Structure 1
Amino acid sequence: MKGNNSFILVSIVIGIILQIIPMPSPIDLYRPDWLLLILIYWSMALPNRVSVGIAAVAGLTLDILYGTALGVHSFALAIPIYLVSANYQRLRNYSMLQQAVMILLLSTLFHVVVYWLQYLITGIEFNWIFLRPAVSSIIFWPWLFWLLRKFRRNLRVT
């Protein structure tokens, strides 16, 4: 990466930090999927630069930081990012409300895959609390989209 293009990496690192930063328990239940949202933005805006490979590496980083089995978050992030990368032209033309609905579906898919893989590995029981971050993610999506787009245009990230 050269010059302003390093902003993509910086934003992904910020997403990882926001994903793991300690928060009080009641608030942590509603923590948005920052990393997923940032990866979705970049795979919509620059699908040739950020795709499944970047999502897999970011997911492995989350697995290491969370202490989960390697590959759980990597696989769970790769699926929604693949869907976004395959349909980025359509998603770009959606209104913000339609994009928010897609974020809800993609975030729910992410959490269901994480739950499913952890169930296979450790036998955890399902709880609807696992899906609360999907709801908060749609609330933060418009602001995050606007912020990243503003930085991408001002820094001329291509």
Structure 2
Amino acid sequence: MKLRSYIIALSIIVALVLQIVPMPLTVDKFRPDWVLLVLSYWALALPNRVNVGVAFFIGIVLDVLMGTSLGVHSFALCVNVFVLAANYQRLRNYSIWQQSVIIGTLSALYHLLVFWLQHLQTDVNFLFNYLWPVLPSMLMWPWVFALLRKVRRQFRIT
């Protein structure tokens, strides 16, 4: 098989590694949502290949890697990918900065869903620190978008 068959999977694996790589505690709360960013790009670019089913599976993998209850990240990723896949034709026409604001909103939704599910399970209290990754995710979107678009075009992934 050619490498191009595995590009989507490789980009998701890289995002999973970036999501769990150890960082100092002062910087860790500002870690962008790498998995959400990569899944968002592929859901916008190729909604027929990266859909809610892929988000569910990757969410389960993320739950195992992060040590959370199974289904927490999976549900949050599924909701976000569903919103993107349902509106991909409209969202593709927005400028990169408008898409960045939408990704920031979806990142906030992601973190609020994860908090809500963890609150139902363990009675965790809400801290504003849960929403710190929203801003870095918004700022990283243009670079993630440009990089993955270049990869998609270079390998002619359809």
TM-score by length of structure 1 reads 0.98
Q: How far apart, in 1, do the equivalents of 2:41 and 2:124 lie? A: 31
1:57 counterpart residue number: 57
Superposition map of 1:1-158 within 5 A:
3-158=3-158
Q: How far apart, in 1, do the equivalents of 2:90 and 2:2 lie? A: 29
Stretches of structure 1 lacking an aligned partner (at least 5 in a row): none
Stretches of structure 2 lacking an aligned partner (at least 5 in a row): none
Q: How far apart, in 1, do the equivalents of 2:148 and 2:5 lie? A: 13
2:126 match: secondary structure: coil
* Percent identical residues: 53
Q: How far apart, in 2, do the equivalents of 1:67 and 1:40 lie? A: 23
Q: How far apart, in 2, do the equivalents of 1:54 and 1:108 lie? A: 21
Greater shift in the superposed pair: 117-126 or 1-10: 1-10
Shift of residue 2 of structure 1?
A: 5.6
Q: Amino acid of the residue matched to residue 144 of structure 1?
A: V
Deviation per CA, 1:109-132, whole angstroms, max 9, x where unpaired?
000000000000001000010001
Q: How far apart, in 1, do the equivalents of 2:96 and 2:112 lie? A: 24
Q: How far apart, in 1, do the equivalents of 2:134 and 2:22 lie? A: 19
TM-score by length of structure 2 reads 0.98
Deviation per CA, 1:3-41, whole angstroms, max 9, x where unpaired?
403100000010110001100111101000000000000
Q: How many residues align?
A: 158
